[in-house]
Amino acid sequence: MAAAHDEDDHVGARRLSRREEIAWYSFAAVTYVAAGIIEKSLLNWIVGPLWLVAVVWGGPLLVDRVRGRR
């Protein structure tokens, strides 16, 4: 399926710039480490990967919605 914009992917979601990507991955890492130190049960192979996917998927969506970008 053709993307609507060059920066859009196969489902029409916005691709992140390198800088945005670094910011979201860093945010995910810092929050997960902090949460994991406080609540060790979060440090497992299900929550850890899901944490990253949720932040990188949902974070930009939320920011775009707040800014009224999409």
Partner 1 sequence: MSWAAHQFEVYAVQAHLPKKMRGKVSFWAIWLGDFTPDFLSKFWVYGITINGRRYGAGVPQQWHRGWPGMGFTHTLFAGLVIAGALWLWRRNRALTVGYLLGYAAHALTDVNDSVGTMLLFPFSTLNWTLETWAYAATKSGGKYLDAAAYYSSLGLVMDLFWMFVVLGSWRVLTREHWRTSVVPADPHVWSWLGRVMPERALLALYRATFFYGLCRMVAWSTWAHLFARPEIGGVTRRGYPFDFSWTGPGWLQARTLPHVSPYIVLPVTIALLAVAYWSASRLWEPMGRRDRTLAVDG
Return phi, psi of residue 66, to 5°.
-65, -40
- How near is the Cβ of 6 to partner 1 at its closest, in Å? 13
Kindly tell me the burial class for residue 60, based on how many C-beta atoms sit within 10 Å of its own C-beta (0-12, 13-18, 19 or more): buried
Q: Does position 25 bind partner 1 by CB under 8 A?
A: yes
Question: From the list 2, 6, 27, 40, which residue makes contact with partner 1 (rule: CB under 8 A)?
Answer: 40
- How near is the Cβ of 26 to partner 1 at its closest, in Å? 11
- How near is the Cβ of 65 to partner 1 at its closest, in Å? 15
**Beta-bridge partners for 8:** 14
